[in-house]
Chain A
Amino acid sequence: MEDKTGVLVYGELAGTKLAGTTCELLECGRRLAADLGQRLACVLVGEVSDTAAAEAAARGAATVYVASIPQECAFDGDVHVAAAAAAVATAEPGIVLLGHTPLGREIGPRLAFRLGAAVSTDCIDLRIDPDSGKLIMTKPVYGGNALLDSVAQTAPQLATVRAKAMPTGEPTAENTPNVVHLSFEMPTTRLTITDRVQEEVEGVKLEDAPIVVSGGRGVGGPEPFTTILQDLAAVLHGAVGASRPACDNGWAPEAMHIGLTGKIVAPDIYIAVAISGASQHMSGCAGSKTIIAINKDAEANIFREAAYGVVGRYEDVVPAFTARLRELLAD
Chain B
Amino acid sequence: MAELRMVVCCKQTLDPEAPPASFKIDPSGNRMTLPSDIKPVIGQYDEFALEAALRLKDSGGGTITVLSLGNKLVRDVIKKSLAVGADELVLLEDPSFEDSDSWSTAYALSLAARKLEGFDVIFCGRQSSDMDSGQVGLGLAELLGLPVVTLARKVERIDGGLKIEQVIPDGYQVVEVPTPAVVTVTSELGNLRYAVLKGIMAAAKKQPIIWTPSDLGVDSTEVGAAGRKLDIQRMYQPVKEARCEIIDGESSAEAGANLATRLREAKVI
> A residues engaging B (CB < 8 A)?
75, 77-78, 102, 105-106, 109-110, 112-114, 117-122, 136, 139-143, 145-154, 190-199, 201, 236, 244, 248, 254-255, 260-261, 269, 277-280, 290, 292-294, 301, 303-313, 316-321, 323-325, 328-329
Contact = CB atoms under 8 A, between A and B. Distances in A.
Given A113-B138, A196-B171, 13 more contacts: A110-B141, A114-B142, A192-B176, A193-B175, A196-B174, A277-B20, A292-B259, A301-B20, A308-B266, A310-B247, A316-B253, A320-B254, A324-B259
Interface string B221-260: 0000000111111111110101111110101111111011
B168 A198 contact: yes
A312 B168 CA distance: 37
B173 A109 contact: no
Given A147-B236, A292-B263, A324-B261, A196 B132 contact: no
15 contacts: A105-B150, A112-B139, A118-B229, A145-B20, A146-B236, A148-B232, A190-B147, A194-B175, A255-B171, A279-B20, A304-B242, A304-B244, A310-B247, A311-B255, A324-B260
Contacts of B244: 293, 303-309
B20 A190 contact: no
B134 interface: yes
B103 interface: yes
B interface secondary structure, majority: mixed
Nearest to B32: A142
B247 A143 contact: no
Given A146-B235, A307-B245, A310-B247, A248 B187 contact: yes
Nearest to B181: A190
A232 to B, nearest CB: 10
A310 B256 contact: yes
B62 interface: no
Interface stretch (B2-10, B84-92, B123-131): B123-131
Given A141-B131, A142-B23, A255-B170, A317 B252 contact: yes
A323 B16 CA distance: 38
B207 interface: no
**A interface: dominant SS:** mixed
Contacts of B231: 150-153
A244 B168 contact: no
Nearest to A325: B260
Contacts of B32: 141-142, 145-146
A305 to B, nearest CB: 7
A254 B188 contact: yes
Contacts of A304: 240, 242, 244
B175 A191 contact: yes
A299 B228 CA distance: 40
A309 B247 CA distance: 6
